[in-house]
Amino acid sequence: MKLISTASADPSAFLRMAQDWREHDTDRYALALDDFGRYLQQLRCEEAADQPMGRVPSAQYCLECDGEIMACIRLRFYLTPDLEQEGGHIGYDVRPSARGKGFGTTLLRLVLVHAKQQGLERVLLTADAQNLPSLKVIERNGGVLSGEVISPTTGKPMRHYWIALPP
């Protein structure tokens, strides 16, 4: 298993992962399925330091295992007040057909190295309080619960975790 930039991913493997989401009633990667080149261009724009108001620079990585993309993760380089409430530094998703196999735990562990390289000393992760698999992934990677809030987006309880990065 290895963490790679999405731009380095095999397009057909990425599209198989995106199709997995679609087959599970979520069009999370609809743009990639419609126009993979445009999707990659959007990711390049999101990496730029100069972002529109309310947006922060970020990078997206994929977890590759035996030529397949099992999961994606986004690392935001700093937080806005909105991201401090919901979103945090890191957001990730494991393709539906690959859940429960440890990919999320590995994915998060690997991206923490990149967070450290960005100069971050700790990272904030937020998760739906009912999303037990995600909470376990965060806790297995050293996440320390700092509180629970109500999501302004969904109105549901959400947990905040901090992960300290080694010096």
Tens-place pLDDT, residues 82-140: 999 999 999 999 999 999 999 999 999 999 999 999 999 999 999 999 999 999 999 99
In the chain, the amino acid numbered 46 is E
pLDDT confidence of residue 99 = 96
Q: Is residue 143 part of a domain?
A: no
Q: Is residue 57 part of a domain?
A: yes
pLDDT confidence of residue 12 = 98
Q: Is residue 153 part of a domain?
A: no
CATH number at residue 70: 3.40.630.30
Tens-place pLDDT, residues 19-75: 999 999 999 999 999 999 999 999 999 999 888 888 999 999 999 999 999 999 999
Hey, which residues does 162 pair with through a beta bridge?
124, 144
Dihedral angle of Cα 8, 48, 134, 160, to the nearest 10 degrees: 160
Q: Is residue 58 part of a domain?
A: yes
Q: Is residue 134 part of a domain?
A: no
Q: Is residue 144 part of a domain?
A: no
Q: Is residue 74 part of a domain?
A: yes
Host H or E run for residue 64? strand 58-65
Mean pLDDT on 141-164: 96
Number of domains the chain is built from: 1
pLDDT confidence of residue 142 = 98
| Beta carbons of 127 and 162 less than 8 angstroms apart | no
For residue 97, what is the DSSP state? G
Residue 68 sits in which domain range?
2-120
Q: Is residue 43 part of a domain?
A: yes
- Candidates 122, 144, 133; CA nearest to 71 is 133
